[in-house]
Structure 1
Amino acid sequence: MKSSKEIYKDKSKQTFNNQANIYDSTYYGKHAKKLYNSVVEEINGFKCRKILDVGCGTGTVLSILSKKDSICLAGIDLSKDMLNIARQKLNKNVELKIGDSEQLPWYNDIFDAIICTDSFHHYPEPEKVLSEMARVLKDKGHLVIGDPWMISPLRQVFNLQLKYSKSGDYRIYSKLEISRMLVKCGFNSVNWNRLNYSSFVVTAEVNK
């Protein structure tokens, strides 16, 4: 029998497989699009050479980043159909893998930076994901997460309802919650910024 957390993953996988061909034009794709420029701006500021996109979806952020020279890119997603769309956008030099964010299929100390855009709220084991991100990042490597945000107490009410959701959303985090998780999982220099009424971007640096 599957655990509740495995059920969340199955819901996410099914949702994104079903939406893959139209995702970029859906509400969810448009919400993610509002985060792209801020995530890319943060990454450009760090001047990283090798970057991993966790939950890369249809590959839009990777496509934006691929316009820069002398940069190595990789992406991972749970949905094979989303990755199929990503492959249509990206050249063969971008390494794309299907897989679970809790078990990243790369060696330790590989990447200069990791991005995660509108995906983190789907992860039922967020600390496992952050620990995996820390593992594959080089010392002093950078993490950029862009995700949904809600004001309290709407956030608490919404989170209570998520267990009935069919889309695989797991939890919307407050500034304090995600900042504490990052520190617990080996990150420091945490910088959280609210972008608008429904989104935030947080950056951090891994300390090994």
Structure 2
Amino acid sequence: MNSAAKNTVRYYDKLANRYDKQYQTYLNHTHEKLLDKIELSPEDEVLDCSAGTGLLAHEIMEKFGSFKRLVLNDPAPNMQERAKYRLRYAKDVEFTSHFTEELPFENETFTQIICLNSFHYYTDQDRVLKNFSRILKPGGTLWMLDWNRTGSFKIANKFIDWLSPENINSRTLPELKSLLADHEFDVVDEDTWGYRWWNFLFVRCEAV
């Protein structure tokens, strides 16, 4: 992967031990929003493509129980170690550590892909969506919640981009929907809202 992607991983590796506490309010809000919308079943094969410290995985298992398969992927080793510790008593959870642009799973592996708070970090978003389309089973669902680069948040987004070592490439909802259409995703639900100084977007997409 390129240096921008590697810099993002190094940043979160250093942040891992304090990540949940430092971003607690932000995480509580975005996780609650996604959990209110998401629909999963015990027969699902689920990929959390940028699982971080495993907080979302813990929450979805509390809400929905276990799954046929649950894979937590994150390229930052220290973030993944936190996830492994958090889910140390959970059964049948798999951990992988690939960049999302380089997911190696076979075609039509998953029925559900969750992409929370991470799409704006990806340096090759077209490649990510191509991967998602490839590894989702026909009729599978992609759930995305991310920053919405619109309104006054455009200013905050620029400051974050200037000041942070992370790769930042947030999208507006129309931009994201255009990218999704290019990769044969059908958007069946969408939402936008503001929270404090952030603007967010949500899409539920079905693989065509």
TM range (shorter): 0.7 to 0.9
| Shift in Å, 1:154 | 4.7
What secondary structure is seen at the aligned counterpart in 2 of 1:106?
A: coil
Per the TM alignment, residue 189 of structure 1 is displaced from its structure 2 partner at its CA by: 2.9
Residue 61 of structure 1 is matched in structure 2 by 56
State how far apart, in whole Å, the 2-side matches of 1:124 and 1:189 are: 23
Code of the aligned partner of 1:58: T
Q: Which residue of 2 aligns with 1:20?
A: 16
* Deviation readout 1:15-72 (Å, 9 max, x if unpaired): 1001100100113x5323311122223332x546111001110011111122333412
CA displacement at 1:163 relative to structure 2: 5.5
Distance in 2, matches of 1:32 and 1:70, equals 22
Count of aligned residue pairs for this structure pair: 200
Amino acid at match of 1:82: M
Greater shift, 76-85 or 146-155, is seen at 146-155
- The residue number in structure 2 matching 1:192 is 190
Does 2:177 align with 1:179? yes
User: CA–CA distance in 2 between the matches of 1:154 and 1:40?
Assistant: 24
1:122–1:168 CA contact under 8 A, matched in 2: yes
TM-score by length of 1: 0.87
Q: Is the 8 A contact 1:42 1:144 kept in 2?
A: no
Q: How far 1:162 moved relative to its partner?
A: 5.8
* Residue ranges of structure 1 left out of the alignment (5+ in a row): none
Give the RMSD, CA atoms, in angstroms: 2.1
Q: Quick check: 1:73 aligned with 2:76?
A: no
Letter in 2 for 1:43: I
3-state DSSP class of the match of 2:2? helix
8 Å contact kept, 1:49–1:70? no
Q: Residue 167 of structure 2 aligns with which residue? A: 169
TM-score of the superposed pair, with normalisation by structure 2: 0.87
SS in structure 2 opposite 1:64?
helix
Q: Does 1:84 align with 2:85?
A: no
Check conservation: 2:48, 2:73, Cα contact below 8 A: yes
Q: SS state of the match for residue 102, structure 1?
A: helix
Structure 2 residue 135 is the aligned partner of structure 1 residue 139: no
Paired residue secondary structure (1:32): helix
What's the counterpart of residue 5 of structure 2?
Answer: 9
The runs of 5 or more residues in structure 2 that have no matched partner are none
Code of the aligned partner of 1:15: Y
